[in-house]
Amino acid sequence: MRFQASSFGRVAGAAMLAAAMLGGSAASAQDGGYLLATAGTGGTYYPVGVAISTLVKVRLENSQGIAMSAITSAGSGENIKLLREDQAQFAIVQGLWGAYAQSGEGPLAEDGAQENVRAVSMLWQNVEHFAIRSEYVDTGTIADLIAMEGHGFAIGARNSGTEGSNRHLLGGLGIADPEAHFEVAFVGYTPSVEAFQNGTIDAVNPAAGAPVGAMTQLMAAVGDEVTILEFTDEQVEAANAGYELWTPFVIEAGTYPGQEEDVRTIAQPNFLAVNANVDEEHVYQITKAIYENLPFLVNIHRATSAMSLEAALAGLPVPLHPGALRYFEEAGLEIPDRLRP
């Protein structure tokens, strides 16, 4: 569910170069700074975490005494645990896991609601790319996938965030048991589009930041034989299944080979989470530093190019930390009641 990441060496090198450009030194976690939990080094969470932590050190360590270090983890599920146990004070978290933390549902049912988890900002969005063989298109919306009972659908690799998200969305749309409805294939993005090309399956959803390499590969290979499905307002609400997590997202015409028109789909956020007990002024300064230095972040990793003040609150599943709330109010954003601590 992520952008293809740069290698560790390239990311670290870019971070060091950007740090030199901005000036300042980089503190380690042993110097008393905050820890930012990310995921494995092969995905996007870690290099984005490196970008954010480098920015914090460069801009805030000398002036505010605030430092941050990115650490690897097993991803969103472990990051919620690290926040709960105060082993990390910040974390990058998938939107659905944030929703689970807020509600105490899903994989967190035994632990209950995580009242310590707060949001700093949306970082980038995972865009849903529900795509089916064009011969089965009727309405052009997600209803066409629901109508494909008995057909092959690539739900994602086992235990992946993609599988979890697909199960949630399909459940909201009336399919509580995907295995009983489809011929489910538990495969990653590249194998799923290869299976589509080979005629083994008829539907895929390589969800990530657009453009997704696997989707580009598929549309270049099969052309108008595949169609990316849209969502109506009613379908967006149903798919959320009680959450306000997925929001409308337009894949602009020309994003993919042969895509001549905009596609109105949905997207969920990956967001920067923080423990509620972190100092309000520190979170305020970190949020401010992020939004006053977006080109710095983009220089280190392209996933952050999706960040903007206008999109900062999109789909956030947990309330804002008071420090982030203060910054966004000063910036003139209208804050929904559900995001107020």
Q: Indicate whether 27 pLDDT > 50.
A: no
Residues 230 and 286 in one domain: no
Rg of the chain, C-alpha, whole Å: 20
Instruction: State the Cα–Cα distance between residues 15 and 297, nearest whole angstrom.
Output: 9
Instruction: State the Cα–Cα distance between residues 46 and 121, nearest whole angstrom.
Output: 17
Q: pLDDT band at 229, cuts 50/70/90? A: very high
Of 242, 235, 241, 247, the closest CA to residue 271 belongs to 247
Whether 257 maps to a domain, the answer reads: no
Residue 299: the pLDDT is 87
H or E stretch at 100:
helix 95-103
Residues 94 and 60 in one domain: yes
Residues 159 and 209 in one domain: yes
Residues 136 and 235 in one domain: yes
Q: pLDDT band at 331, cuts 50/70/90? A: very high
Residues 38 and 91 in one domain: yes
Structural domain count of the chain: 2
Whether 3 maps to a domain, the answer reads: no
Q: Indicate whether 68 pLDDT > 70.
A: yes
Residue 40: the pLDDT is 82
Whether 63 maps to a domain, the answer reads: yes
Residues 277 and 211 in one domain: no
Residues 31 and 138 in one domain: no
Residues 114 and 143 in one domain: no
Last residue of a domain, one of 245, 280, 303: 245
Residue scoring higher pLDDT (104 or 32): 104
Q: Indicate whether 9 pLDDT > 90.
A: no
Instruction: State the Cα–Cα distance between residues 1 and 21, nearest whole angstrom.
Output: 32
Q: Which of 140-144, 158-162, 241-245 has the highest mean pLDDT?
A: 140-144
Q: How many residues does the chain have?
A: 341
- What does the pLDDT look like over 262-290, one tens digit per residue? 999 999 999 999 999 999 999 999 999 99
Instruction: State the Cα–Cα distance between residues 179 and 137, nearest whole angstrom.
Output: 22
Q: pLDDT band at 60, cuts 50/70/90? A: very high
User: What mean pLDDT do residues 81-100 have?
Assistant: 95
Residues 97 and 186 in one domain: no
| Number of helices (H), then strands (E), in the chain | 13, 11
Whether 290 maps to a domain, the answer reads: yes
H or E stretch at 203:
strand 203-204
- What does the pLDDT look like over 146-173, one tens digit per residue? 999 999 999 988 877 788 899 999 999 9
Last residue of a domain, one of 245, 260, 291: 245
Residue scoring higher pLDDT (140 or 156): 140
Residue 161: the pLDDT is 76
Whether 251 maps to a domain, the answer reads: no
Q: Do strands 117-127 and 263-275 pair parallel, antiparallel, or not at all (unpaired)?
A: antiparallel
- What does the pLDDT look like over 191-203, one tens digit per residue? 999 999 999 999 9
φ and ψ of 174, to 5 deg: 105, 5
Q: Is 65 helix (H, G, I), strand (E, B) or coil?
A: coil
Beta-carbon count within 10 A of 141 CB: 18
Whether 256 maps to a domain, the answer reads: no
* pLDDT-above-70 percentage for the chain: 90
Q: pLDDT band at 42, cuts 50/70/90? A: low
Burial class of residue 120 in the structure, from the number of CB atoms within 10 Å of its CB (0-12 exposed, 13-18 middle, 19+ buried): buried
Instruction: Tell me which residue range forms the domain holding 188.
Output: 129-245
User: What mean pLDDT do residues 45-51 have?
Assistant: 91
CA angle 324, 277, 49 (to 5 degrees): 60
Residues 77 and 95 in one domain: yes
Beta-carbon count within 10 A of 295 CB: 10
Whether 101 maps to a domain, the answer reads: yes
What CATH number corresponds to the domain at position 51? 3.40.190.10
Q: pLDDT band at 58, cuts 50/70/90? A: very high
Residue 208: the pLDDT is 83
Last residue of a domain, one of 245, 279, 311: 245
Residues 275 and 238 in one domain: no
Residue 152: the pLDDT is 98
User: What mean pLDDT do residues 28-36 have?
Assistant: 65
- Average pLDDT taken over every residue of the chain: 89
Whether 1 maps to a domain, the answer reads: no
Residues 13 and 34 in one domain: yes
Residue 108 structure tokens: 């967190």
